[in-house]
A and B are shown apart, each in its own frame.
Chain A
Amino acid sequence: MAAKETYQNRIELLQGTLDMLILKTLQWGPQHGHGIGQAIRAGSGELLQVETGSLYPALHRLERQGWLSSEWKVSDKNQKAKYYRLTAAGKKQLVVEESHWKLLVRAITGVLKPAQ
């Protein structure tokens, strides 16, 4: 009971950014869930650890929103996996989210500056 609530909190906390990170990762080509998680971790210099319990719900949600599509493929290591791919709508969404993010960063930086 308690565990579930924690997961939900994290999803909410990460929601905006996790979506963007997933979309960004998929910009370089189709990838399966595990790969996406690894890519984010590697890309963030091991700083961001994506919980599986947040990753898969997010993937399914993005797919439902039409920003991702998926297909089953066999990986180069001969493992069958579900590969996610960015759709045209997803690409547009990524642009929107990135600009939002930049705006947010600028705003927060602006707020933080005078205090220093």
Chain B
Amino acid sequence: MVYHRLKSLFYRTVRRRQAERELDEEIRAHLAIDKQDRLERGEISEIAELNARQTLGNELLIKEVTRDMWGWMVVERMWRDIMYALRQLKRSPGFAAVAILSLTLGIGANSAIFSILNAMLFKSLPARAPDELFVLHQQSRATVPQRFSYPMFQRLRDAGSGAIGVAAMSHVTSAQTTVGPGAQSEVAPIQLVSGEFFPLLGFSPALGRLLTPKDNQILGGQPVAVISFEFWQRAFAGSSDVVGRSIRLNGSSFTIVGVAPEDFRGVWIESPTDIWIPLMMQANVHYAQNFSSHEDADPEKSWVPQEFIDWLDVIVRVNPSALSQVRNALNGVFLHSVESVTGKLGPETRRYFLERTLVLDSAAQGFSNLRQRFTSPLIAMMGMVALVLLIACANTANLLMARAEGRRREIAVRLSIGASRGRLIQQLITESFLLVGVATGLGLLLAQWTSDRLVRMAFGAAVPGPAPFLAGIDLHVLLFTAGISIATGLLFGLAPAFRATNLELGAVMKTAARNAPGRFRFSATKFLVAAQVALSLVVVFGAALFARSLHNLAKVELGFDREHVLTVWINPRAAGYDAAQLPMLYRRLVERTEAIPGVRSAVVSMCGLAVECRSTAGMKISGYEPAPGEEIRIQFSYVGPGYFSTVGMHLLNGRDFIPRDSGGQFAIVNQATVRRYFANRNPIGQRFGEKLQSEIIGVVQDARVNRVREEAVPMAYYPLRGNLVYAGSLEVRAAGDPNAIATDVRKELNAIAPDLPIERITPLALQVDRSLNPERMGSVVTTAFGILALGLACFGLYGVMSYVVSRRTSEIGIRMALGARPTHVLWTVLSEALTLIGSGLAVGVPVVFFASRSIAALLYGLQPNDPVTLLTTIGILTSVAVFAALWPAWRASRVNPVAALRHG
């Protein structure tokens, strides 16, 4: 394709050359014949020649008009303009380099941020007709689970609602995966899906077959798996005999039946999936996460037949025109079955179930937990990076105008020998677009390189498994980049081109080597510099706000001791431990760990800290009357004895758990619970719980257990022992640096429980640090933008001040000859720079106040109009800008009056 294009271009160029030559020759022949005629008529040779030329007219113009008739002009002319522009740029490589560099950074940064935004918000699933895909959500006044039980899914699927298809899936979870006998096991993300999942999405396999409804019939009896293309390449090196091979997931053996298509990495954007297995295999792989259970549910038995375990996301394919009809039909089935299922429950609980309605939300772009959280930071970044591009545009426009200044005579000459203004503008624009074209190419490379790194930086640690989602360059990104490039080219190219060709020809031609003063041009330049200062103030201020937010977050009082705790992530459920074996396992884990030198204490708990492991329950509290419609929801965790002293939370009141405490009988609550539900009451001895079954024995200090950013929520801790709860973490308190004991802990645990895989061992400080990764990424990126904006603005200021000085050399010379002191000259130039900076700031500050309000929600611990940050920003910007103006000013103060006057 490209080759053919080049070939045809080559032939055209060759043909064109030949045509040019022929035209030259034709005109020459015309002249010769005319001269011959005239000679024959008796004219003298010289006169004949002269007359022939005169009758011919403007030879160049004739050729030009004739060439117009050849038809291939548009392409050819463009080609010639490009060649011309290339020659022009080659003549001033410094200009070209600076312009291309600043545009590349501007365009590249825009494309990079947009590609992430695109992957999160706009990119459709690679499914057939993705616009027909919807996800079922439940709406109610109270907090309700967004998932469905398997029996409910079956009823919805078989309801004849008019939907094209209904499928269900679990959340993506990580499983200990072994690909063959003797192979090292690794953690791979898996997902359980109904048989309708792949047919609904409309995929065809890359190899073998995909799962069908027939694969999801027998409870626990159909160990088949489909693997992702990437996993096929990674774990099996793309081997073609992978179908039929067996693979172990959390201890159960599965047979691979096929490979998913290459572009499908799962429906969860930030959790690319490696392996899909039927829902019927839930108990076999010990899947137990993202679920809610009620009433008589038993999470330790298979979930598939259970009515009161909600664990499935339901995807529906609906023709958008039938949407409301399908929704009504599904709601009918849903309400009817909820009524019959909850028939035996009390009226209050029934109301909780019956108040729900189903809504269909678009799932065309796939599923994401992060979408909501990252959309507004990304949009804020997009805004900032757009400003950076604007600054780069202003900069390039300024450079172009300065260059046009140097080319005024050339342009005037070309205009006066008959080039049309339109043609010249075309050529100048071509030059601009050549710059943009090169910058766009480089910018895309830059975007490709950075977007991947930014995603890893922001999400890498938050998501287990292979690579986080891909924010690659796709059609959307290409279109976006093309769009901003064209806008950029027009923005900085058009005005200078029009201005450069708008000349009083006579005046320009008459003035000597030194150019006539162009007053208008000059103030346009100044305006652009002031605008750059204003824009960079906005960007730098934004960056400063984010940096200070991050700083505030990093030193937030968390309520636990992040310096001395090591968290060991375990998953006894996935390892196949029976609930009955747990107390024994926990006792051994704690005792043996505590025996390691350097370990103060160890304790198992349901969840590690700072990973947003949230379990909540609706509760009643003795002596607290909820307002109408108020629902008491308290987050809870199960912890072993000595948990609080191990992680460094202070017990404020009452006592800690002792090994004798068991069951849900005793509980310790945090300060937030007391503040909220026990105002002016002593909580010790009060009862709470779903059935008021727990007695409060202590109050513990508030801690930010979920996210650093999130204030402590009301929380209750229950004793782990006796509740047969699967622990997720072993918290180890070190006497000194927790990193120092990590290896010993791992070795010891491998020795005492070789069948219990350790997912990872992280010092708590690192875990907290990682949870701030998105904020850090935001801060790093915006700081980079800030520096870039500042650099560009200062470069612009430097340029314009140098220009001012070079124009006024003779004036300065006269002043100095008349006795002006160098410091005075220095100050005059600097004050001019300060005026520019000041006017930029005067515009920038109100804009900043207006713009920063939009990022108020993203900040932590400071107001969007924080005066200290603003003053600091202004201070930094002014000093850097003054520094940029210093060199030209200093040069002005060193002007040699004699030399200046002689050349002036």
Contacts and interface: CB of A to CB of B under 8 A. Distances in A.
B641 to A, nearest CB: 95
Interface in A34-87: 34-35, 38, 51-53, 56-57, 60-61, 64, 75, 77, 79-82
Interface stretch (A4-12, A19-27, A94-102, A108-116): A4-12
B66 A57 contact: yes
Nearest to B64: A4
A56 B62 contact: yes
Interface in B420-451: 420-421
B70 interface: yes
A60 B33 contact: no
Nearest to B67: A60
Q: Which range contains the number of A residues in contact with the other chain?
A: 20 to 34
Given A51-B57, A56-B62, A60-B70, A82 B22 contact: yes
Given A34-B33, A79-B32, A11 B62 contact: no
A75 B32 CA distance: 12
A79 B39 CA distance: 14
B179 interface: no
Given A61-B69, A81-B33, A56 B61 contact: no
Given A4-B418, A4-B420, A7-B61, A52 B68 contact: no
B418 A82 contact: no
A47 to B, nearest CB: 17
B66 A60 contact: yes
B66 A56 contact: yes
A52 B70 contact: no
A49 B30 CA distance: 16
Given A60-B69, A64-B71, A82-B22, A52 B420 contact: no
B65 A52 contact: no
Most chain B beta-carbon neighbours within 10 Å: one of A11, A60, A61, A64? A60
A32 to B, nearest CB: 7
Contact of A53 (B25, B65, B71, B419): B65
Contacts of A34: 29-30, 33-34, 37
B56 A52 contact: yes
A3 interface: yes
B29 A53 contact: no
Nearest to A33: B30
B65 A11 contact: yes
B415 interface: yes
B33 A53 contact: no
A82 B66 CA distance: 15
Contacts of A8: 65
Q: Which of A1, A38, A82 has the most CB of B within 10 A?
A: A1
A109 to B, nearest CB: 33
Nearest to B57: A53
Nearest to A54: B65
B36 interface: yes
Contacts of A61: 69
B77 to A, nearest CB: 15
Given A33-B26, A51-B57, A75 B66 contact: no
Contacts of A81: 26, 29-30, 33
Contacts of B55: 52
A57 B27 CA distance: 12
Contacts of B22: 82
A114 B707 CA distance: 98
Given A34-B34, A60-B69, A64-B70, A3 B27 contact: no
Contact of A52 (B23, B57, B69, B415): B57
Given A1-B421, A4-B420, A32-B33, A82 B25 contact: yes
A57 B33 contact: no
Interface in B851-871: none
A34 B25 CA distance: 13
A69 to B, nearest CB: 14
B58 interface: yes
A63 B135 CA distance: 66
A3 B417 CA distance: 10
Nearest to B26: A82
B537 to A, nearest CB: 44
Interface string B671-713: 0000000000000000000000000000000000000000000
A1 to B, nearest CB: 6
Contacts of A82: 22, 25-26, 29
Best-buried of A8, A53, A61 by chain B (most CB within 10 Å): A53
A96 to B, nearest CB: 21
A113 to B, nearest CB: 38
Contacts of B66: 56-57, 60
Nearest to A56: B66
A11 B64 CA distance: 14
Contacts of A4: 61, 64-65, 418, 420
Given A1-B421, A81-B33, A82-B29, A53 B69 contact: no
B56 A75 contact: no
20 contacts: A1-B415, A3-B418, A4-B64, A4-B418, A4-B420, A7-B65, A11-B65, A33-B30, A34-B34, A35-B33, A52-B57, A53-B61, A53-B65, A56-B65, A57-B65, A79-B32, A80-B25, A80-B29, A82-B25, A82-B26
Interface of B: 22-23, 25-27, 29-30, 32-34, 36-37, 55-58, 61-62, 64-66, 68-71, 415, 418-421
Given A57-B69, A82-B22, 13 more contacts: A1-B420, A3-B58, A4-B65, A32-B33, A34-B34, A56-B26, A56-B27, A56-B62, A56-B65, A79-B32, A80-B25, A81-B29, A81-B30
